[in-house]
Structure 1
Amino acid sequence: MPQENLTPLLLASSSMPQSTAAASYGATDDHDASTPKNAHDGGLQRGLSSRQVSMIAIAGTIGTGLFLGTGKSLAQGGPASMLICYAIVGFIVYITLLLLGEMSTQYPVAASFNAFTSRFVSPSYSFALAYNYWLNDAISLASDLTAAQLVLQFWTPLHTWIISLVFWVFLVGVNSIHVRSYGELEYWLSLLKVATIIVFIILGILVNVGVNKEHRYIGGHYFREAPFVGGFGGFANVFVTASFAYGGTESLAITAGETRNPTRNIPRVVRFVFWRIMIFYILSILLIGLNVPHDYPDLSNRSTTTSPFTIVFKEAGSTVAASFMNTVILTSVLSAGNHALFAGTRVLYGLSVASPRQAPTIFSKTTSRGVPIPALLATSSISLLCFGSSFIGSGQLWGWLQNLVGVSNQIAWLSIGLASYRFRQAWIRQGRSLEDLKFHTSWTRIWGPPFVIVSVTGLILVQGWSSIFPHFSATDFISYYIEIPLMVLMFIVWAYIVRPLTRGNTQQQTGLQWVFDLVDTRTVDLETDVYEDNEADKADDTQNQQTWWRRLFFWIA
């Protein structure tokens, strides 16, 4: 395809010849600590094992959105609004992940959905999306560190900023070592979250039927009493908090460039998502709505936010159990921050090694273990926003950051839908069958991409209703919609300022194709970056089949 349409976000590790790349990914054993052979080349390394990727898929992005964001959702919209909105967004996310998994299995490159928008939609749009998503991850880390202060207020309101500083130092330290360090930390924190949510589901049922401090049967009382709160504006508000809660799921594909045996592991990751949504999100949210009133004291206000999970444990009559739950929530905040820092670092690294380059060269430097330290430090520095909470209130700041991240997540999902639509169009236009893809969900063939595009666009437009009606709130309106003009600005910068300089006089596009910098789906390259299984991948498959507990794990999931 023409040089100007080459994917600008393909990373150094993913653009190596397949023979070289396959040789550098290292062994497949979960406990192997050897350094990949070509570590001196710089670039990222495939150091995430199937065990780590599988657990990250199940619970890696469960964090402040579910444990704390549900409190804000319940207070603003009521239990019925919360259940309906989280179910709608959960279904959209599942379809989005199926589409992304289809592309990521075929082309397992780092910064994948940014790369796919460049490859199949528009390099200029991809440039804007990449910086939007990098900012999303950086703000997510700030949001998680701010959330740590809110969680700590359960025990003491004094000097809560200290926990943010400690978490920041710890996360930067862990992510500075090796991608395997990130994977191992996420594995154990995710395992703890899974176990805790299972306990919460059991306890939530018991509390509802009468095992609580008042020894009374609750049933559906709170649903009948105030199913919807705040009218349509309250209902619409929940969409952005739900999007914040589900956020990060799409960034699992960013690990594609550092995942062993991507042909097998990426489809597994995608399949895990449905059950995670059903069990961990929908069932938990139902039990929260059943057991916690929307007007519970300090559930969500300017200065504080209380986790509904902690409230349910407290209602069971045990202060110790409530403290344990709050401790788990604190670890989930750590996990969510770890995930955001990892993803944001890889996106910035991808921009720095793009062709043409889209970020300063310094961010492309990596250690001998494949860690992009400058990109790591730049991403983590944005989290200093969390220290502003002492001036405007942790609850208020966290709410604004939550809105920013939620909208950014939606923009990412919309972009995945656009990329999938164009990818499938290119695949068919060039005489291929969708059945020939390495991973394909045939039941989404006709309606999948259009559904994601239309539904996410609707969410973006409607969720800021309460910031306009009945009274206009400038700060809330900005937090809901500021990223849209930023995206447009970044698109214009690349399309009309940088693009003409990098392409010289070789312009081949005309009309709307030039205005929007659209890729020609009839000629786009469909062969580059197709991953071919190597001997290490085959050995990984054999090992998984020979270990009974792994077979059981994948079967259950």
Structure 2
Amino acid sequence: MEKDAIEEKPPLDLQTVPSLEAKDIDHGADTQLRRMLGTRHLTMVALGSAIGMGMWLGSGESLIDGGPASLFIGFLISGSVVWSVCQSIGEMAIMYPLPSAFVQWTTIFVSPAAGFALGWSYWFSYWITIANELQGVVTVLEYWTDAVPKAAWITVFWLVIILINIWVVKFFAEVEVFSSTVKFGWMLIVIIALLVITCGGTSEGPIGFRYWDAQPFNNGFKGFLSVLPTCVFGMAGSENAALVATEVANPRRSVPKAISSIWMRLGLFYVLGSLMITLTVDPSNPDLFGASGSNASPFVIAFKSAGIPAMAHITNAVILISVISTGSISGYGGSRMLMGLAHINMNHKVFGKADSMGRPWAGYIATIGIGGALAYLNVSHTGAEVFTWLSNLVSLLTLFGWAMICVSHLRFRYTWKLQGRDVAHLPWRSWAYPYATYWGLAWCIIITGVEFYLSIWPLGDKPSAQNFFANYVSVVAIIVIYIGAQCWYRGPFWVDASTIDIDQCRRFYADHDDEEVGKKSLVKKLVKVFE
């Protein structure tokens, strides 16, 4: 029997048990999912889940709209927000490793209506992301050939995403480990190569800060504001580590390592990566994504302009792997979101079931099915148009999710203190609380306001109802869902913190985690062999 098995006993009183030495107890987190994943899987999913179209392709559109300085500053701001949100996730995911994670946290610590709105709106973002990544596949492959019909490419890679998800959960995790390793390994090479190019390592000579000096900001302050939503979309997915935590053998050991790895991803991939393309790619290049031409990635353009076609081809291939990876993670996340909603009676119970191998079939069919069908919009529209529509939708839904993670964390800490608990009893504590949580929440509100402004007065276009709803319909949907849920549940705006049972869905940990016990057992076996 697993150490994290459920016990039908009253929760422990932590005030009288300062050091938990009893066996692990997992109240209310019993699912048909299987805890087969380890630290390596969670860490690599946290590293690679957000690396898709937003950075590889979408950064080109931002370079056009805002200029090099705007793009770099935009990713710095978005990176700080993601880091702050991940600090909140770290504390909560260890305490409450639940199938839909932040949705269930919101339901417990904020209100059922808020949890309902978050869960369903976030599920929308998963199948929208699948559609966006599938149309990104078409954009990437058209770099090599446009002879194959768009619908054919979408169908082929839709099937690939389906197969990655339905094989077995551990196969999905291994695919993500491989793809994340490829992404980060190649990004390290790309950064070094682009540094050589900007320093004059090609026949073009030194580039330096030529493009920064010429025009660091395009389209004024509005151009800078227009970059922020794309940067948020590019970094969406970091929160998926919270969903994976429910299938990890020991979250107390795995989650902190995954959260600490955010530094590497933010520093290496987004900050340095965006800096390098602002140094090596001319914002007026007609081939940038969103402009006329091949809709190519700025990373690919940088190598093409430098006369290194081999690097351009390899980079395009890595982008293809990234896009498929992000699409498959969205299928995983969406299916778990539906399962979590079913476990708190906010979805049909069929979505709360999984087979003997831990696969939630109903969730897979709904999420990947709708996402794949939506991708066929790309058949009749350009990749840039579809990317703009869908990325605006996802960025707003992501901001709502990040904000509710921060609010849930603040409410959790408030409840913990109100009920007389000691912070020393938390399995893991963020050293940046509460400043990081408030920082992340504040920026989520600010960027949501920025998107409202850009929806009314869009960059390079006239105000219209069509533009507003095309770009801001996510917020309208969230408000409608929340009001409907509030009328249904008829509860207060905030759950009374004094009545929250903070032990009901919590996992308690023994002094020695499963992984360490496994290692010691292996050592004992080896000793016996050599005796």
Taking the aligned partners of 1:536 and 1:341, their CA distance within structure 2 comes to 34
Contact map agreement 1:237 1:465 (CA 8 A) in 2? no
Contact map agreement 1:42 1:367 (CA 8 A) in 2? no
Q: Secondary structure at the match of 1:156?
A: coil
| 2:273 corresponds to | 284
CA spacing shift, 1:128–1:160, aligned 2, 3 Å: same
**What displacement does 1:461 show?**
0.5
What letter corresponds to residue 60 of structure 2 in structure 1? Answer: G
CA spacing shift, 1:282–1:42, aligned 2, 3 Å: closer
Taking the aligned partners of 1:244 and 1:484, their CA distance within structure 2 comes to 15
| 1:537 corresponds to | 513
**What displacement does 1:542 show?**
6.2
What letter corresponds to residue 375 of structure 1 in structure 2? Answer: G
Q: Secondary structure at the match of 1:463?
A: helix
Contact map agreement 1:261 1:540 (CA 8 A) in 2? no
| 1:469 corresponds to | 457
| 1:8 corresponds to | none
| 2:217 corresponds to | 228
**What displacement does 1:16 show?**
6.3
| 2:499 corresponds to | 523
Taking the aligned partners of 1:489 and 1:199, their CA distance within structure 2 comes to 47
Taking the aligned partners of 2:3 and 2:456, their CA distance within structure 1 comes to 45
Larger relative contact order, structure 1 or 2 (CA cutoff 8 Å, min sep 6): 2
| 2:68 corresponds to | 79
Taking the aligned partners of 1:546 and 1:380, their CA distance within structure 2 comes to 40
Q: Where in structure 1 do 4 or more consecutive aligned residues deviate above 6 Å?
A: 13-16, 544-547
1:489-519 deviations in whole A, cap 9, x for unaligned?
A: 111222213x26xxxxxxxxxxxxx442x21
1:442-492 deviations in whole A, cap 9, x for unaligned?
A: 3323x3333222221011001343443372144442243211121121112
**What displacement does 1:523 show?**
2.2
1:422-449 deviations in whole A, cap 9, x for unaligned?
A: 111101111123233111123323x333
Identity of aligned residues (%): 31
TM-score (norm 2): 0.88
CA spacing shift, 1:56–1:540, aligned 2, 3 Å: farther
Find the partner of 1:203 among 187, 193, 216.
Answer: 193
**What displacement does 1:176 show?**
1.0
| 1:325 corresponds to | 315
Find the partner of 1:456 among 441, 444, 452.
Answer: 444
Taking the aligned partners of 1:544 and 1:149, their CA distance within structure 2 comes to 49
Q: Secondary structure at the match of 1:442?
A: coil
**What displacement does 1:546 show?**
9.7
**What displacement does 1:531 show?**
2.0
1:279-335 deviations in whole A, cap 9, x for unaligned?
A: 111000000100001111121337763111111222332222211110110011011
CA spacing shift, 1:264–1:311, aligned 2, 3 Å: same
CA spacing shift, 1:113–1:453, aligned 2, 3 Å: same
What letter corresponds to residue 192 of structure 2 in structure 1? Answer: I
What letter corresponds to residue 166 of structure 1 in structure 2? Answer: V
Q: Secondary structure at the match of 1:369?
A: coil
1:185 is aligned to 2:175: yes
Contact map agreement 2:101 2:340 (CA 8 A) in 1? no
* Structure 2 residues not aligned, in runs of 5+: 10-29, 524-531
What letter corresponds to residue 202 of structure 1 in structure 2? Answer: I
| 1:194 corresponds to | 184
Taking the aligned partners of 1:542 and 1:308, their CA distance within structure 2 comes to 46
Taking the aligned partners of 2:280 and 2:466, their CA distance within structure 1 comes to 32
Q: Alignment length, in residue pairs?
A: 496
Contact map agreement 1:201 1:287 (CA 8 A) in 2? yes
**What displacement does 1:377 show?**
0.8
Find the partner of 2:120 among 125, 131, 135.
Answer: 131
1:478 is aligned to 2:466: no
Contact map agreement 2:150 2:378 (CA 8 A) in 1? no
What letter corresponds to residue 491 of structure 1 in structure 2? Answer: Y
Please list, as runs of the form range in 1=range in 2, the aligned pairs for 1:18-33 lying within 5 A after superposition.
Answer: none
Please list, as runs of the form range in 1=range in 2, the aligned pairs for 1:331-480 lying within 5 A after superposition.
Answer: 331-354=321-344, 357-383=345-371, 384-445=373-434, 447-469=435-457, 471-480=462-471
TM-score (norm 1): 0.84
